[in-house]
């Protein structure tokens, strides 16, 4: 990538990936759902500080990006549950690399 001088096409896919995870909430929501499928109220409890309105918006965006799935169960009253998809789980390696690089970065920039 950097050693070959990145091209605009490479940039496009990197931008796609960054947009799918960036912002304050998306990863926190994915982390919460990575344990088990959850209902709206459960997620809201596990992502401290998020408002219902923002959570609802973020869930829609994650669903549109196929990172999570929304399932409606035919019970009374109907139950709605959110779960992480295989595509969402495929973020694992990206997050690992970001995590490790972030650790080095913190050491490099702060710890001198």
Q: Does 65 bind a second copy (CB under 8 A)?
A: yes
Q: Are 62 and 76 in contact (CB under 8 A)?
A: no
CA distance 34 to 104: 25
Q: Does 73 bind a second copy (CB under 8 A)?
A: no
Binding residue (CB under 8 A) for a second copy from 39, 41, 57, 66 = 66
Interface mask (CB under 8 A) for a second copy, residues 11-30, using x and -? xxxxxxxx-xxx----xx-x
* Between 37 and 73, CB nearer to a second copy: 37
Q: Are 10 and 17 in contact (CB under 8 A)?
A: no
C-alpha closest to that of 79 among 38, 51, 47, 50: 38
Binding residue (CB under 8 A) for a second copy from 60, 71, 79, 89 = 89
């Amino acid at each position: 990538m950097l050693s070959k001088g990145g091209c605009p096409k490479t940039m496009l896919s990197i931008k796609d990936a960054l947009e799918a995870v960036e912002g304050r909430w998306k990863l926190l929501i994915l982390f919460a759902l990575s344990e088990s499928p959850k209902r709206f109220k459960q997620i809201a409890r596990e992502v401290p500080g998020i408002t219902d309105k923002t959570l609802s918006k973020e869930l829609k965006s994650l669903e549109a990006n196929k990172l999570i799935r929304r399932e409606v169960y035919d019970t009374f009253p109907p139950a709605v549950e959110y779960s992480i998809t295989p595509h969402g789980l495929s973020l694992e390696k990206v997050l690992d690399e970001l995590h490790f690089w972030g650790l080095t970065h913190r050491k490099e920039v702060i710890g001198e």
